[in-house]
Structure 1
Amino acid sequence: MADSFVGRRQELAMLRKRLDRAAASGSGVAVALRGRRQVGKSRLAQEFCDRVEVPYAFFTATKGASPVEAVGAFLGELRESGLPTDPELVPGADGNPVPGSWPDAFRVLASVLPDRPCVVVVDELPWLTEQDDLFDGALQTAWDRLLSQRPVLLLLLGSDLHMMERLTAYDRPFYGRSDTMVLGPLNPAETGKALGLEPADAVDAHLVSGGLPGILRIWPHATPALEFIEDECADPASALFGVPEAALLAEFPAPDQARRVLEAVGSGDRTHANIAAAAGGRAGPLASGALSPLLHRLVTEKRVLAVDAPLSTASGKPALYRVADSNLRLYLAALRSAQEQSRRGRADSAFDVVRRRWSAWRGRAVEPLVRESLELAAGAGELPWPDTAAVGGWWNRRFDPEVDLVGADRAPVAGAVRFAGSVKWLATPFDVHDLMALLQAAPQIPGFTPGTTGLVVVSRSGAALPEGAVDVVWSAADVVGAWPAG
């Protein structure tokens, strides 16, 4: 991938709008920007600062620093930035004493803000709140009394999603004072554009990278996913391994029950019972009273897991869990084992680990992406069922059958099922045998009406079916085309 900045047009426009608002009103605007590690928050903020061509200061906190050290580093960055007309006014120059508290630091910031529009970026904000319990209150007081009186855009960046949400929660000092933006990974169309790949290879690259710029930046142009993985297996320090490994260590610095639960899901255990058995180990299955809160935390706070329930006109069980990020999912399923081989100098063995698990992993990993793509297409009026608001899957307690795609007017319990379908992401086309399996399974979905409910096929290699056998046939190009290219 070239170093050129790809995508993020909407996010850049949203930030530009807020800077323009600050310029027009003469008052400050704050934005809390959150997103998982390696998603490109810092790069987005820097790209924005470079494009708008106004004075800015960019401070990145250091994990584990003391409040005094953090304040000193902040003032150092401020002094070197383009904000102060006279850097000598910032404490620390020529040995001047540096204040050791955030209220003092924010007063210094306010004193050097220009009368014209400017930007102040505070990156890794959760680390500052960890270091100093008074930081949130100091920020709120400084904003209300000093900073908001100037035409400044204050960007507050953080990777700890739960702590960033807490920053603006109703019971916290900064509540109601900032807009909130969530930065997700690059979508499949942006991934394909960045790497110069055709749609089928773009989907594979998106699944492997998770759309994370930290991985895409080392991906050679026009290189298919398996070829890229094979090359990287010779380098145990590759970002292909390092990015998900760092994300895992950041969220779970020490092995504990939550991490064992995540690893159980990453290894392929999807149901509550199977996860309990795998995570419990020799001590026996984890008790439901212990497992349920852990799953809730991993889904709602950490957001490393996602939970899917069968979609139909009847409430259904069981729920199925999966690792939300496809890159971390691949790491837990294959890349971690491959990295161990790579560290021992066995690149061929490392790639063999991935190759053996590739088809099964990809077949599961692509399903959530296909469902998202169909939802987007339905919302844009590009499917025959424009009132489709949710796309999921369906299964019974025996998992016989499992239906990959169910489109409905609402979720979690549908009022009407609009279509059912299958995903086949293999080198062979969707054929009559695959269609017969779908025709046998689909009528078991509560709410499916033969002759009325539509049929959808999504296939990497096209379909070999009689004309009119199904209502919609999607290719990889359709999956990618449902997303804006940026």
Structure 2
Amino acid sequence: MAFTGRSRELRVLGSWLEKVTSASGGSAGQALVIKGRRRIGKTRLVQEFCARSGRPYVFFQATRGRPAPLSRQALFDAVAEGERMREHGAALAHAAAPEDWVRTLAAVAAALPADEPVILVLDEVPWLAEADAGFDAALKTAWDMHLSAKPVLLLLLGSDLAMMDRLTSYDHPFYGRAGEYTVGPLNPADVQDSTGLDAAGAIDAYLVTGGFPEVVTDWRAGEAVAGFLARQVEDPSSVLLTTGERSLAAEFPARLQAGRVLRAIGSGERTFSGIAASTGGADGRPLAHGTLAPILTELTEAKKIVAAELPLSTQPAPKLKRYRIADTYLRFWLAHLENAVAQAERGRGELSAARIQRSWPSWRGRAVEPVIREALARRVPGGLFPDATEVGGWWNRQNNPEIDLIGADAEPVARHVSFVGSVKWRDETPFGARDLAELVASARHVPGAQDAALVCVSRRPPTRAAVEGPAAHWGPDDVVAAWR
């Protein structure tokens, strides 16, 4: 697979290696915890970083279910076979690993060079902890007594976000010893560079692929979204169809209720009561609050696969929380692709393609809104509204009105609202006078927004009748530029 994008992530990793190289980090060694959802490209990113670094490195990847003694022996083998490590790791090449992790990691530390920086990667750390409950404490001891004294950059990777969060939590042995970095999907600018599309097409590609590297790299240069989808839904083994299924199976192997909750949100349910009703029993009763609440907490806080949002204004509204699928690709997969595998296996991929084509305009119109909010939160074009560090939406209990963009100085309760905006992501119809009139009328309902500027974001430039109304208009190029 070709390596695409990740310039920012490579810079971050390079800065951590520089701390080791320059001995500016307070200790000879440095440790960094790298987390991210499964199949997001963490391993590939770190492999590329190691290869580009020009430094000796050891890359050890744990295997789920492998007994701890075999993992320790495999680590010895990885050290002996590491890049530019054969001389240093010779002593471990045929040695039997000790019977505990402290002595194993101490032997690894002894084998690392003392006169030049080296990178030591432990991939899928949660699986090591699963196989040996004492691994975390042993890692702390080995780091304090052996590894941190060497010029080593220790990279600890893992896909179980909850377990990786615990690794650096206050009550954990390794607390305070490592930095943290979360690897997300490829961003829209990376997707544009990979696909060769214009900004509008790249945003479409991002909404479909979610920036998952293995899906993005299957997109042919310059290919329109309709052509990509038609090709992918014909093949039951295509990465677009299978990545979502594999991700859900890995994240929720036996969690039937969690899967049902995800599917309810993916189908468009956004409120607690709506989700409860959609996931209720055969008797028609909604899922009980005591059952649904902890599932949503896990999905939002531990798994981070669902986002919980509140309306943004100067007035608190804690009872108006809404939920959406945070993972862009999974949002598309749940809405359009879960049943497409069966159709592809029957040789009827064209049915799935036609169904997606019919629902694409309305689905895209809502799905693009979080992407635009993230873009504006990163960088408001033209340097406008410097105080608008948070960008969200606003709605009341009746969802009338419902406003796409609120730029403010804090969230979920702002002190000052800088702008109120509308998103119209249509192929043919531009932002027009009627859209502007609706925005003007809706803005009056937002607490604290009476003096806020009006803005619009649209796929096509606004009409002449509307262009003088908003304080600013931003298009696809402006959205993608936020990641450059």
For residues 402 and 117 of structure 2, what CA distance do their matches in structure 1 show?
A: 56
Which of 19, 22, 39 matches 1:21?
19
For residues 199 and 20 of structure 1, what CA distance do their matches in structure 2 show?
A: 35
Q: Residues 445-472 of structure 1, C-alpha deviation per residue, up to 9 Å, x if partnerless?
A: 12221xx321111111221142412111
Residue aligned with 1:280, SS: coil
Q: How far off is 1:182 after superposition? A: 1.3
Alignment of 1:32-71 (within 5 A): 32-71=33-72
For residues 56 and 383 of structure 2, what CA distance do their matches in structure 1 show?
A: 47
Residue aligned with 1:57, SS: strand
Q: Residues 310-358 of structure 1, C-alpha deviation per residue, up to 9 Å, x if partnerless?
A: 1112122421100001100111111112222112221111212322221
Cα RMSD of the aligned pairs, angstroms, is 1.7
For residues 151 and 417 of structure 1, what CA distance do their matches in structure 2 show?
A: 49
In structure 2, the residue matched to 1:275 is: 275
Residue aligned with 1:282, SS: coil
Q: Residues 67-126 of structure 1, C-alpha deviation per residue, up to 9 Å, x if partnerless?
A: 1221222222222223241654115x2xx5443432232132122111221111111111
Would you say the 8 A contact 1:84–1:114 is kept in 2? no
In structure 2, the residue matched to 1:223 is: 223
In structure 2, the residue matched to 1:390 is: 390
Would you say the 8 A contact 2:267–2:335 is kept in 1? yes
Would you say the 8 A contact 1:68–1:100 is kept in 2? yes
In structure 1, the residue matched to 2:438 is: 437
For residues 354 and 186 of structure 1, what CA distance do their matches in structure 2 show?
A: 23
Q: Which letter maps to 2:203?
A: V
Q: Which letter maps to 1:341?
A: Q
Q: Which letter maps to 1:66?
A: P
In structure 2, the residue matched to 1:242 is: 242
Q: Residues 210-246 of structure 1, C-alpha deviation per residue, up to 9 Å, x if partnerless?
A: 1121211211111122221111111111111222222
Alignment of 1:299-448 (within 5 A): 299-316=300-317, 317-378=319-380, 382-427=382-427, 428-448=429-449
Q: Which letter maps to 2:304?
A: R
Would you say the 8 A contact 1:418–1:454 is kept in 2? yes
Alignment of 1:125-140 (within 5 A): 125-140=125-140
For residues 23 and 396 of structure 1, what CA distance do their matches in structure 2 show?
A: 54
For residues 408 and 327 of structure 1, what CA distance do their matches in structure 2 show?
A: 28
TM-score, scaled to structure 2: 0.94
User: How many correspondences in the alignment?
Assistant: 475
Would you say the 8 A contact 2:407–2:420 is kept in 1? yes
In structure 1, the residue matched to 2:112 is: 113
For residues 281 and 241 of structure 2, what CA distance do their matches in structure 1 show?
A: 26
Q: Which letter maps to 2:12?
A: M
Q: Which letter maps to 1:51?
A: R
Which of 4, 15, 20 matches 1:6?
4
For residues 474 and 291 of structure 2, what CA distance do their matches in structure 1 show?
A: 42
Residue aligned with 2:431, SS: coil
Q: How far off is 1:281 after superposition? A: 3.5
Q: How far off is 1:276 after superposition? A: 0.3
Would you say the 8 A contact 1:312–1:414 is kept in 2? yes
Would you say the 8 A contact 1:338–1:353 is kept in 2? no
For residues 184 and 251 of structure 1, what CA distance do their matches in structure 2 show?
A: 16
Residue aligned with 2:382, SS: coil
Would you say the 8 A contact 1:338–1:354 is kept in 2? no
Residue aligned with 2:65, SS: coil
Q: Which letter maps to 2:336?
A: A
Would you say the 8 A contact 2:314–2:448 is kept in 1? yes
Q: Which letter maps to 2:453?
A: G
Q: How far off is 1:186 after superposition? A: 1.6
Residue aligned with 1:434, SS: helix
Would you say the 8 A contact 2:207–2:328 is kept in 1? yes
Q: How far off is 1:255 after superposition? A: 3.7
Q: How far off is 1:424 after superposition? A: 1.0
Would you say the 8 A contact 1:195–1:221 is kept in 2? yes
For residues 20 and 389 of structure 1, what CA distance do their matches in structure 2 show?
A: 30
Unaligned runs of 5+ in 1: none
For residues 433 and 8 of structure 2, what CA distance do their matches in structure 1 show?
A: 42
Would you say the 8 A contact 1:421–1:455 is kept in 2? yes
Is the alpha carbon distance of 1:465 and 1:312 closer, same or farther for their aligned partners in structure 2, counting shifts above 3 Å? farther
Q: Which letter maps to 2:7?
A: R
Residue aligned with 2:338, SS: helix
For residues 72 and 180 of structure 2, what CA distance do their matches in structure 1 show?
A: 25
Q: How far off is 1:4 after superposition? A: 4.4
Would you say the 8 A contact 1:337–1:353 is kept in 2? no
After superposing the two structures, state which structure 1 stretch, 348-357 or 272-281, moved more: 348-357
In structure 1, the residue matched to 2:213 is: 213
Would you say the 8 A contact 2:408–2:416 is kept in 1? yes
Residue aligned with 1:141, SS: helix
Would you say the 8 A contact 2:241–2:333 is kept in 1? yes
After superposing the two structures, state which structure 1 stretch, 149-158 or 24-33, moved more: 24-33
For residues 18 and 379 of structure 2, what CA distance do their matches in structure 1 show?
A: 33
Would you say the 8 A contact 2:4–2:190 is kept in 1? yes
Would you say the 8 A contact 2:458–2:474 is kept in 1? yes
Runs of 4+ in 1 over 4 A off after TM superposition: none
Q: Which letter maps to 1:239?
A: V
After superposing the two structures, state which structure 1 stretch, 341-350 or 465-474, moved more: 465-474
In structure 1, the residue matched to 2:102 is: 103
In structure 2, the residue matched to 1:31 is: 32
Q: Which letter maps to 1:271?
A: T
Q: How far off is 1:38 after superposition? A: 2.1
Unaligned runs of 5+ in 2: none
Q: Which letter maps to 2:14?
A: R
For residues 440 and 168 of structure 2, what CA distance do their matches in structure 1 show?
A: 49
Q: Which letter maps to 1:458?
A: V
For residues 384 and 17 of structure 1, what CA distance do their matches in structure 2 show?
A: 31
Q: Which letter maps to 1:67?
A: A
For residues 355 and 166 of structure 1, what CA distance do their matches in structure 2 show?
A: 43
In structure 1, the residue matched to 2:259 is: 259
